[in-house]
Amino acid sequence: MRYGVGIVPPRPDGRFTLIRTTPFRTTALALAASVALLAGCADMSERQKGTAQGAGIGAVAGAVISSVTGGNAGTGAAIGGVLGAVGGNLWSKRMEDRRTAMEQATRGTNVEVTRTADNQLKLNIPNDISFDIGSASIKPELRAVLDPFASSLRGDPSARVVIIGHTDNTGSDAINNPLSLERAHSVRDYIVTRGVTSSRVDTAGRGEREPIASNANEAGRAKNRRVEILLSEPAPS
């Protein structure tokens, strides 16, 4: 069997590693390295990165299967790449468009709009624009965030929403737990008035149990007083 020299993707220190390879391993490594570089490009969208990563995984898997079963590794890699690209593209264009729209709608509000590891759109809404301390009444600033969010759900009956209220550690659980749930209910009730079907929305109140900052100072407590909204679409069956 002929051997060649392969290059694996760069290590964290930026250096490359040369290894002795078979033709199959060379094909797989080349594909993996290419995808790793593509997926790291700053100007690629999240959807494109997901597709590239899926393609890389599929390509390597296809090459492995073809090599083991006696087929052509290059052909197997190509087929696997196509299947992987489809499988990795779970972040739909509609979800990407929603994220872009919400980033624009919340600019300057300190609302964090992110994509989670399991392909949900997440809005982390700080207390300063959502509720007064000890209150579950929605502030006008929060309405300006919820209106475009609710609008983005129209015409998409498959989308699901989870709203989670959080507090800091000031006060007892007897106060914080129901308050966090009441705030989640207030957000749900508001978007329902904007046309979102209530059966598509789940709510939860976590009280002080899931802090994202230290409760030892006011800056940290302010971060912990928040409402999180998670939007998801089911993966194609």
pLDDT digits (tens, 9 = 90+) for 111-143: 999 999 999 999 999 999 999 888 999 999 999
Residues 77, 101, single domain; the answer is: no
Q: What are the E-state strand segments in the chain?
A: 4-8, 17-21, 112-115, 121-126, 160-166, 201-205, 226-232
pLDDT higher at 45 or 187 = 187
Give the number of domains in the chain: 2
| pLDDT for the residue numbered 181 | 98
Residues 164, 123, single domain; the answer is: yes
Is the residue at 237 inside a domain? no
Is the residue at 41 inside a domain? yes
Report DSSP state, residue 235.
P
pLDDT higher at 158 or 81 = 158
Which structural domain, as residue segments, surrounds residue 138? 93-232
Residues 72, 113, single domain; the answer is: no
- Distance, CA of 214 to CA of 167 (rounded, Å): 12
pTM above threshold 0.85:
no
- pLDDT for 190-230, tens place per residue? 999 999 999 999 999 999 999 999 999 999 999 999 999 99
